[in-house]
Amino acid sequence: MSAGCCSGNDDHGHGHDHARDLDGVYRNVLWTVFGINVVMFCVEAVAGAIAGSVSLQADALDFLADAANYLIALFVLGKAITWRAGAALLKGGAMAVFGIWVLGYSAYMAATGGLPEAPVMGIVGTLALVANVGAAMLLYKYRGGDSNRQSVWLCSRNDAIANVAVIGAAGLVHLTQSHWPDLAVGVLMATLALHSAGQIIRQATGELRQQRMHASPAE
């Protein structure tokens, strides 16, 4: 942690204690957003199945992936940069897999799907938006730093954006009586996930490369 790298013997102990305090607060925040994501996964998984909505089911999977991401973040908190960057790579890979899955599922539903239930999409999308905005606000001050913390922030930010799109799709499904707005949101979510995965993987790879360069002279 940066606070633990203060120069001077007199300040080092205080800096280390401050970093530990910050990690403790961040850990509590992560447990809170983990709980939010588990609850919303259950809500959206059931609602998506009932409504026949691609975007709700995709968002439910995203909540599940995020819950797993927060658990990983809790595991590596306070560990060496190699552990944190490695966890970020794992999360970036998971987001990429999620994006590819949504693209494939959207293509399948385009050929076989019926009309989703717009009222359920709108109500559940609004509930998910409230949950994700709350999580994003809790994580906002921790969005900087290493790739692991950046990836946690990006997950919540992306979810809030996706929820706005789900609500918009619900309105368009109702107005047009077509399943295409729902499918379009699924593709949007997949594209956003793939873009964020690329950001996370690039930063984590750079951190691992820099760590190896620093370690080489000592070997």
* Per-residue pLDDT tens over the stretch 78-91: 677 777 778 778 87
Distance of alpha carbon 128 from the chain centroid:
13
Is residue 134 a part of any domain in this protein? yes
34-37 long-range Cβ contacts below 8 angstroms, 24+ apart: 34/67, 34/70, 34/71, 34/74, 36/131, 36/134, 36/135, 37/63, 37/64, 37/66, 37/67, 37/70, 37/135
Write out the residue range of the structural domain in which residue 150 sits. 28-218
Give per-residue pLDDT as tens, 155-200.
Answer: 777 778 778 889 999 999 999 999 999 999 888 877 877 887 888 8
Is residue 23 a part of any domain in this protein? no
In the prediction, which pLDDT does 6 show? 29
How confident is residue 147, by pLDDT bands cut at 50, 70 and 90?
Answer: low
The tally of domains found in the chain comes to 1
Is residue 34 a part of any domain in this protein? yes
Give per-residue pLDDT as tens, 23-77.
Answer: 678 788 888 989 999 999 899 989 988 888 888 888 887 887 788 777 777 777 6
Is the pTM here over 0.75, yes or no? no
In the prediction, which pLDDT does 171 show? 94
Cβ atoms < 10 Å from Cβ of 201: 20
In the prediction, which pLDDT does 151 show? 66
Is residue 6 a part of any domain in this protein? no
Is residue 13 a part of any domain in this protein? no
Mean residue pLDDT of the chain comes to: 78
Euclidean distance between CA atoms 153 and 180, whole angstroms = 30
Is residue 11 a part of any domain in this protein? no
Quote the tokens at residue 57.
Answer: 């089911």
Cβ atoms < 10 Å from Cβ of 100: 14
Is residue 117 a part of any domain in this protein? yes
Is residue 160 a part of any domain in this protein? yes
In the prediction, which pLDDT does 125 show? 93
